[in-house]
Structure 1
Amino acid sequence: MILRPALIAAVLALTLAGGAVAKSRNVTDPDAPRALPEQGPVEVRWQNPAQFTEIRYSGNSSEAKRGNWVEDLAQHLRQRAQKRLPAGERLEVDILDIRRAGNYEPWRGVAFNDTRFIRDIYPPRITLNFRRIGADGQVIAEGERKLSDMGFLSNANPLSNSDPLRYEKTLINRWLDRELKRPGV
């Protein structure tokens, strides 16, 4: 068998790359952000996700930690709030706790260790503090909100079935619709 230089280079590159496998990101990594970068009128911060109900009471905490879902939810909150927030106003949000829809059920066996079962007994819940500040610098509204939706399976938007955070995003959308209600709506 005659090996061509391009083939040799490709095999060598793959061999060397084998040791440089990227580590999977976890929301509890110490170097993971705890706030979105400051930009625009909406500021979103969060506590240590290791203390979130999602991880502390998960049937599979290592799987619950996986990914970037806290930051993804914070980005969604910012984007939706910016669209609804009147010009000149600011919104500051501290996410205190998250319990995602569904749960891991370890009693189902090893084959289902990384499977999140979505059932009505596992509704999404988010606890947050917020401050809405008017263009004049005065606080318009503030407080703690405990968001939950016991009917999340029947209330979800069927068009977003591929988004693993669709239930939590719907929860955020409904809160913003109530909290940032536009006059005359």
Structure 2
Amino acid sequence: MKSSPLFRLLCIACLALASIVARAATPPDNVTVRYNDPRHFTEARRSVGVHRADADAYLKPLKAYIAQRAARVLAPGQRLDIEVTDVDRAGEYEPWRGPDFDDVRIIKDVYPPRIDLHFMLYGADGKVLREGSRKLRNAAFLGQGLATDQDSLRYEKSLIDLWLRKGAAKL
């Protein structure tokens, strides 16, 4: 049975998409991201009672995002180790609004996202090229047109993107 050119093209497109998805799901081997005592992160300390957040619900996807984005800025042979020391997600719960708002995170400019981290960038020869600590902040996070994005970590991911945008040489 002979297949049509359209069917063959569709099969090739599906295989290419499957390859892209598989690569995105595989963590890069040149970036290590770890959390330093996430129980003491600002986000965890504010997460109590009815506002108790499942840390894995935001830490796992954030870790994967950081690794994937950081891998894109590295030159061949480079390696980057990142230790996240604090996370405070954008927004807060406002209990005075009443029980109907127990699960509603209010996003205002007075509740900006914050991520603190320490990093070490290694060259292909294993020597440290750059090392430092960063306090990622963006007071203008609401003015970036992210409000229509439905990703619950959109503001935190934007902080990571702003940091990495300069490239490995200017981390």
Task: Indicate whether the TM-score tops 0.5.
Answer: yes
CA contact (8 A) 2:90 2:155 kept: yes
- Over the matched positions of the two proteins, sequence identity in percent amounts to 43
Kept in 2: contact 1:59–1:104 (CA 8 A): no
How far apart, in 2, do the equivalents of 1:60 and 1:173 lie? 32
The structural deviation recorded for 1:57 is 2.9
Q: Does structure 1 retain, via aligned residues, the 8 Å contact 2:28–2:71?
A: no
State the match for 1:57 in structure 2: 46
Residue among 156, 164, 168 paired with 1:168: 156
Corresponding residue of 2:89: 100
Aligned ranges 1:22-101 → 2 under 5 Å: 40-58=29-47, 62-65=51-54, 67-101=56-90
Point out the more displaced range, 103-112 or 173-182: 173-182
TM superposition shift of 1:84: 1.3
| Matched residue count | 145
Gapped regions of structure 2 (runs ≥ 5): 1-25
Whole-Å separation in 2 of the counterparts to 1:116 and 1:132? 35
Return the match for 2:144 from 148, 151, 155. 155
Change in 2 beyond 3 A, CA 1:59/1:119:
farther
Kept after mapping to 2: 8 A contact 1:156/1:166: no
Larger CA Rg, structure 1 vs 2 = 1
- Supply the distance in 2 between the matched residues of 1:117 and 1:60 (Cα, whole angstroms): 17
Alignment partner of 2:168 out of 168, 180, 185? 180
> 1 CA distance for matches of 2:39 and 2:143?
30
Q: What are the Cα deviations for residues 154-184 of structure 1, in whole angstroms up to 9, with x where unaligned?
A: 02446x61101000001001111125258xx
Cα deviation, residue 59, structure 1: 6.9
- 1:103-114, aligned counterparts within 5 Å? 103-114=92-103
* Unmatched tracts of structure 1, length 5 or more: 1-36
CA contact (8 A) 2:35 2:84 kept: yes
Structure 1 contact 59–105 (Cα < 8 Å) conserved: no
| Equivalent residue number for residue 123 of structure 1 | 112
Displacement, 1:66? Answer: 5.3
| Alpha carbons of structure 1 residues 99 and 139: separation in structure 2 relative to 1, 3 Å | same
More contact order relative to length (CA 8 Å, sep ≥ 6):
2
Q: Distance in 2 between matches of 1:167 and 1:161?
A: 10
- State the Cα RMSD in Å: 2.2
Q: CA deviation at 1:63?
A: 3.2
Higher mean C-alpha displacement, 169-178 vs 124-133: 169-178
Question: Do the aligned partners of 1:60 and 1:106 also contact (CA within 8 Å) in 2?
Answer: no
Q: What residue number does 2:23 align with?
A: none
